[in-house]
Amino acid sequence: MISCQLFGAFPDRINPTPTDQHQATSKDTPALKTIEAPVPSQIPTNSIAPGDINDLTNTHWVGRIYDQENDLKFEVFEIIFLPDGKFRYFIPNDWHENGTWQKNGNDIVLEWANHACDFYGLLNGDTIAGAQTCVDTGTKGWWVKLKTP
């Protein structure tokens, strides 16, 4: 306790600035601008041109599901689009096959476990990205990239 009080009383002793060095003031620091732009996406930037993949059947995709507030919180996510609108997916520790998928143009909708989670995404070349809404975890971002052999 004494040391906290001591440093509180003498803050210049913690990181003293030499007297011959310029003392920064709030006038030296430019004001921060408020930007209303969304948080940058985690979508890989080296995607191929839109429209290159028309049929998703029997394709394998790898990416992540991530927290939109903190993109350092994520989990690996893999999808294999099966025939007849079914898909197999991997989330940490296990593969599951209780999902369905639909493609309408470049819009992709995935659903698993009787709508416990619904994914809405946009196909852009070899990447699909969008938002996931789950009953138990709320909304998160997601993206997957086509896995090539």
pTM above 0.85, yes or no: no
Instruction: Please report, for the domain that includes residue 76, its CATH number.
Output: 2.40.128.120
- Any domain includes 44: no
Instruction: List pLDDT tens digits, range 90-102.
Output: 988 899 999 999 9
- Any domain includes 97: yes
- Any domain includes 66: yes
Instruction: List pLDDT tens digits, range 46-74.
Output: 444 444 688 999 999 999 999 888 777 88
Q: Residue 81, exposed/middle/buried by CB under 10 A (0-12, 13-18, 19+)?
A: buried
